[in-house]
């Protein structure tokens, strides 16, 4: 049985004080939940969130670089994230792919480095609206999944979380419906089975992301292949986030 995982991606929001207060409230309000809860906060808040000593909520970052150290101005390494208490890191988010031109090869290097130091990657995959209309959704997500996980050993694949985020649904108010999302996620799991074997594929948690709210989370979580959600804007409000966690 896969443990559901709900992760909040705060993107470029929340100063340190705001982050600590939201995390403190969230930790108290979801203490009795069987769901794994993760906050992926800006780099500036990670140390303070870890020092808060929350019991239920896990801490994650939103990105990292694959090099151990060096002349990479503005970047953060996997070991730096591990050092400040991160357990998870989002990699390959569509905003990184679209705005910062990250490709599958770069994302794969990040995935491998994260696993090497003990971080759990949340690997994002998803299609654009044009690709969806062209009937290319399955091809896109299968390709991104395959390339993003190249070189990952079968023994480590269960440490990876995959987030299916249709790009056209991120921050737009539009969502895929539960049935459609489940079909895409089933294709991702079939790809994992081909790469790592069916037994290991069944251990990997796959989330849905894209304008997830308290009012629509149940539609996705009742689907057999969907193991959680990667939540954007709704994770910035503690009441909304708790409503999602307690779907």
Q: Which residues are catalytic?
A: 93, 165
| Closest-CA residue to 140 (of 184, 199, 96) | 184
With residue 107 as reference, give the H or E element that holds it: helix 104-117
- Strands (E) located in the chain: 5-9, 36-40, 57-61, 88-91, 120-125, 161-164, 205-209, 228-231
CA distance 39 to 217: 17
| Closest-CA residue to 240 (of 207, 215, 214) | 214
Structure tokens at 184: 């895409």
With residue 217 as reference, give the H or E element that holds it: helix 217-221
Q: φ, ψ for residue 39 (rounded to 5)?
A: -110, 120
Residue with tokens 């101005």: 73
CA distance 57 to 52: 11
CB 196, CB 160: distance < 8 Å: no
Structure tokens at 133: 């209309």
| Closest-CA residue to 28 (of 3, 9, 53, 47) | 53
């Amino acid at each position: 049985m896969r443990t559901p995982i709900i992760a909040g991606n705060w993107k470029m929001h929340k100063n340190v004080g705001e982050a600590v207060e939201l995390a403190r409230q969230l930790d108290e309000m979801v203490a009795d939940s069987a769901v794994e809860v993760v906050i992926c906060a800006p780099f500036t808040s990670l140390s303070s969130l870890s020092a808060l000593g929350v019991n239920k909520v896990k801490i994650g970052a939103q990105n990292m670089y694959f090099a151990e150290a060096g002349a990479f101005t503005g970047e953060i390494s996997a070991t730096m994230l591990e050092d400040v208490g991160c357990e998870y890191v989002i990699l390959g988010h569509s905003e990184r792919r679209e705005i910062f031109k990250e490709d599958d090869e770069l994302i794969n290097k990040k995935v491998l480095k994260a696993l090497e130091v003990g971080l759990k990657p949340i690997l994002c995959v998803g299609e654009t609206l044009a690709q969806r209309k062209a009937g290319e959704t399955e091809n896109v997500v299968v390709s991104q999944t395959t390339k993003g996980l190249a070189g990952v050993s079968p023994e480590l694949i269960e440490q990876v979380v995959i987030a299916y985020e249709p790009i056209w649904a991120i921050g737009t108010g539009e969502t895929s419906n539960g049935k459609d999302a489940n079909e895409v996620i089933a294709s991702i799991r079939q790809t994992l089975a081909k790469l790592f074997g069916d037994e290991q594929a069944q251990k990997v948690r796959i989330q849905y992301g894209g304008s997830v709210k308290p009012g629509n989370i149940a539609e996705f979580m009742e689907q057999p292949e969907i193991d959680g959600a990667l939540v954007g804007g709704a994770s910035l409000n503690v009441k909304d986030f708790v409503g999602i966690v307690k779907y």
